[in-house]
């Protein structure tokens, strides 16, 4: 058997006395598109944070291509090929899509002092444009981020996070806050782009239709533990998954073309967004974003266009990432 690109062995993480992750075992084969499902607070983001180096596990090991990378900081992991996106896009709202992309690229190539000198650099602009083309959002190049629909912002955010051409991409709810109409297009573009590059993807998703359509494999978490792992069909048929994750009622569910509350309650089978407030922890565990190879501490854009309720999470996130608001 070939070495998995990612392996987690016995990952545990406690906050105070509370176990957000307790003994997660996971092996991801190269080229897979793994959907991570689980109710609010199940430990999904915590798992991603540990793999991306934004959190250190209390116990357990993370292996990347067979090498122990446990506790390695996110910047070093980014240089090795692990990138991630956050639930709330980390973008400069008052700049254009192209300028945002150029910023991400210039941060990769140059030390900080030279970043701005690359603006006006034609080669950089061409590179940024090509990156937007890859995600099918080049038509928005000259639009201000604040004017873009949430789905396009998500794609731009992911395009920026993956500017360093990572081999493993971790996406925290790529369709949260995205309208039902836009969701499939967002996922279609991501899947096509990552397939074309042979990129391995682990994505957290609440919409079971999306999971079924795009995940080659599904991992279900409850109380910080993997309760099912297999094909979408296998995992959906699992008794506890059906009862606890898929079947649970969704409080305050919005059904029509709504943009989602970012961290929904239980899963929605038809893509309706859940309006329940996120648990306190989901605020604190979204660390200040360190992009692939150290991208900009940008101003998170979570407003305009979507109906997200301000939550403690967003406030913390905005402060932590130094966004002037």
Ligand X SMILES: Nc1ncnc2c1ncn2[C@@H]1O[C@H](COP(=O)(O)OP(=O)(O)O)[C@@H](O)[C@H]1O
Footprint on this chain of ligand X (rule: CB under 6 A): 15, 18, 20, 38, 40-46, 263, 279-282, 284-285
> Cβ of 255: how many Cβ atoms within 10 Å?
12
CA distance between the termini of the chain: 50
Q: Which stretch binds Mg ion (CB under 5 A): 1-9, 44-52, 226-234, 245-253?
A: 44-52
43 binds, among ligand X, Mg ion, none (CB under 5 to 8 A by kind): ligand X
From the list Mg ion, ligand X, none, partner contacted by residue 272 (C-beta under 5 to 8 A by kind): none
Contact status: 180 vs Mg ion (CB under 5 A): no
Question: Which of 26, 32, 41, 45 contacts Mg ion by CB under 5 A?
Answer: 45
Select from 81, 89, 50 the least CA-distant residue to 65.
81
Of 5 and 204, which has the nearer Cβ to Mg ion? 204
Phi-psi group of 148: left, alpha or beta (phi > 0 → left; psi -120 to 50 → alpha; rest → beta): beta
The pair of structure tokens assigned to 234 is 């296998």
Subset of 59-78 contacting Mg ion (CB under 5 A): none
Of Mg ion, ligand X, none, which one does residue 40 interact with (CB within 5 to 8 Å by kind)?
Answer: ligand X
Indicate whether 175 belongs to the interface with Mg ion (CB under 5 A): no
CB of 41 to Mg ion, least distance (A): 8
Residue nearest to Mg ion (CB): 45
Which residue has its beta carbon closest to ligand X?
Answer: 281
Contact (CB, 8 A) for 295 and 161? yes
Give the DSSP letter string of 110-157: S-GGGTGGGTT-HHHHHHHHHHHHHTT-GGGTTSBGGGS-HHHHHHHH
For the chain, give the number of residues: 325
Residue placing its CB nearer to ligand X in the complex, 29 or 223: 223
The alpha helices in the chain, defined as continuous H runs, are 44-52, 74-80, 97-109, 122-134, 150-161, 180-197, 208-214, 232-237, 239-240, 280-284, 312-320
* Residue 44 or 253 with smaller CB distance to Mg ion: 44
Which of the stretches 39-47, 119-127, 138-146, 194-202 binds Mg ion when contact is defined by CB under 5 A?
A: 39-47
For residue 224, the minimal CB distance to ligand X (Å) is 7
Q: 3-state SS of the chain: helix, strand, coil percent to 5?
A: 35, 20, 40
Specify which residues 8 forms β-bridges with: 26, 62
Q: Which does 63 bind (CB under 5 to 8 A by kind): Mg ion, ligand X, none?
A: none
Q: Which is nearer to Mg ion, 171 or 258 (CB)?
A: 171
Which chain residues interact with Mg ion by CB under 5 A?
44-45
């Amino acid at each position: 058997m070939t070495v998995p690109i990612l392996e987690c062995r016995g990952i545990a993480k406690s906050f105070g006395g509370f176990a957000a992750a307790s003994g997660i075992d996971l092996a991801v084969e190269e080229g897979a598109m793994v959907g991570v499902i689980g109710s609010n607070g199940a430990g999904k983001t915590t798992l991603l944070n540990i793999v991306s180096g934004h959190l250190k596990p209390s116990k357990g090991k993370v292996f990347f291509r067979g090498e122990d990378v446990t506790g390695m900081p996110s910047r070093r992991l980014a240089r090795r090929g692990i990138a991630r996106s956050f639930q709330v896009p980390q973008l400069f709202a008052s700049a254009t899509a192209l300028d945002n992309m150029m910023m991400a690229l210039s941060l990769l190539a140059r030390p900080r002092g030279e970043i701005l000198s690359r603006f006006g650099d034609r080669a950089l602009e061409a590179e940024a444009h090509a990156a937007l083309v890859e995600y099918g959002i080049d038509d928005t190049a000259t639009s201000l981020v604040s004017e873009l629909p949430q789905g396009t912002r998500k794609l731009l955010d992911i395009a920026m996070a993956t500017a360093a051409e990572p081999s493993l991409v971790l996406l925290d709810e790529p369709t949260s806050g995205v309208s039902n109409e836009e969701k499939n297009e967002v996922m279609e573009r991501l899947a096509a782009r990552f397939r074309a590059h042979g990129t391995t993807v682990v994505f957290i998703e609440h919409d079971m239709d999306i999971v079924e359509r795009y995940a080659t494999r599904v991992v279900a978490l409850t109380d910080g533990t993997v309760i099912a792992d297999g094909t979408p069909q296998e995992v959906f048929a699992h008794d506890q998954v059906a009862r606890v994750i898929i079947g649970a009622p969704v409080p305050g569910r919005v059904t029509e073309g709504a943009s989602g509350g970012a961290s929904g309650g239980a899963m929605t089978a038809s893509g309706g967004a859940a309006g329940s407030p996120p648990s306190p922890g989901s605020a604190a565990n979204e660390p200040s974003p360190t992009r692939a190879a150290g991208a900009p501490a940008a101003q998170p854009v979570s407003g305009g266009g979507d109906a997200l309720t301000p939550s403690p999470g967003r406030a913390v996130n905005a402060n932590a990432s130094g966004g002037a608001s």
